[in-house]
Amino acid sequence: MSPQRKLLRVSPSRISLIQTPTPLHRLNRLSKLLNLDLWIKRDDLTGLALGGNKGRKLEYLMASVLAERADIVVTCGASQSNFIRQLGAACAMEGVRCAAAIMSMPYDEVRPNSISRMGYRGNLVLDQILGIELHPFTDGTWDELYAHAENIALAYETQGLKTYRIPIGGSSALGAYAFYEASKEITEPFDTIVFASSSGSTQTGLAHGFRGTGTRVLGIACDPEPEIAQDFAELSLELSREILGDTPLCASDYDLDFNYVGPGYGIPSAAGNAALELMARTEGIFLDPIYSAKAFSAVIDLAQKGSLTGKVLFWHTGGVPALFV
């Protein structure tokens, strides 16, 4: 169950972009197969530009964009970013230009052994239909990608455009607050909530939302770097200081499982692909191979090992265009 809510330090502005609350229902066949009381939260059905949980963040981020009277929004990400696609749709709805620096496969220190995904498929098709001003770059580190985005923002500013910068994945205090609010949609108790975790706002918001309850908030990491927990802690500090007025979470407070990343960020895994097929063939629901399929492969494995029991909620974060890459 959700904890009692206290007064916020600040109540962020919000505009309506998505359909909430998203459906929550039991997965009857998988519950029997996995010996769990397994439920699903359908953030793949938010309704904005083929759905996905990023729309939750954008309701708050775009309210800030409009309040700032920005001419253009600049962000960055991998070429198949779900966030860029939904950001572009939100900007189109509000008459704001949208630009993004993209790489096929950004990496941290070691370039992954993978095939380029920059081809005109999946989210890139939708990005171009939406009119997003895409700035592609040769694969490099995430820091290089962030630098490219900043240079693009500066270039727009030299043209006299008021530019609003949004960090990768929309992971900011506002983005995390969206998932703190999303936790209010869960009105019955669960032993565990499981979801794909990457840039941190989903896990940070839900962790704050379910703090003080008996519900375990388990993020299945889709990035292989353990130091992302420290990034999450910094996001929690921002959320606590600017909005919630509560005690921030430390890196050690986050329940993150790195055992299901597979070959690396942005690369499908064999276990994830098998989980994707199992969900489709038992419940008729499509997962995406980069995030939610890996998270669901963890549900399967942990249930079979007996380390995931009771009433479990799988939070489907969306990302269907990745199925067509």
Domain spans, the chain: 24-52+172-324, 54-170
What is the structure's pLDDT at 120?
79
Could you tell me the sign of the dihedral formed by the alpha carbons of 174, 204, 318, 193, in that order?
negative
Nearest to 320 by CA among 21, 23, 53, 24: 53
CA angle 99-197-4, nearest 5°? 105
Helix (H) or strand (E) holding 177: helix 173-182
Place of tokens 């909430």: 20
What fold characterizes domain 24-52+172-324?
A: Rossmann fold (3.40.50)
Q: How many CB atoms lie within 10 A of CB 79?
A: 27
What is the structure's pLDDT at 254?
98
What is the structure's pLDDT at 117?
55
Distance of CA 135 to the CA centre of its chain: 22
What is the structure's pLDDT at 109?
65
Q: What are phi and psi of 81, to 5 degrees?
A: -60, 125
Architecture in CATH for domain 54-170: 3-Layer(aba) Sandwich (3.40)
Catalytic residues: 81
Q: How many CB atoms lie within 10 A of CB 277?
A: 12
Residues of the chain with pLDDT under 70: 1-7, 109-119
What is the structure's pLDDT at 118?
56
Between CA 170 and CA 166 the distance in angstroms is 6
What is the structure's pLDDT at 116?
53
What is the structure's pLDDT at 10?
78
Q: What share of the chain is helix, strand, coil (3-state, %, to 5)?
A: 45, 15, 40
Helix runs in 28-131, H state only: 28-34, 54-67, 82-94, 122-130
Please state whether the peptide bond connecting residue 21 to the residue before it is cis, i.e. omega within 30 degrees of 0: yes
Between CA 168 and CA 166 the distance in angstroms is 7
Domains 24-52+172-324 and 54-170 share a fold: yes
Between CA 272 and CA 286 the distance in angstroms is 12
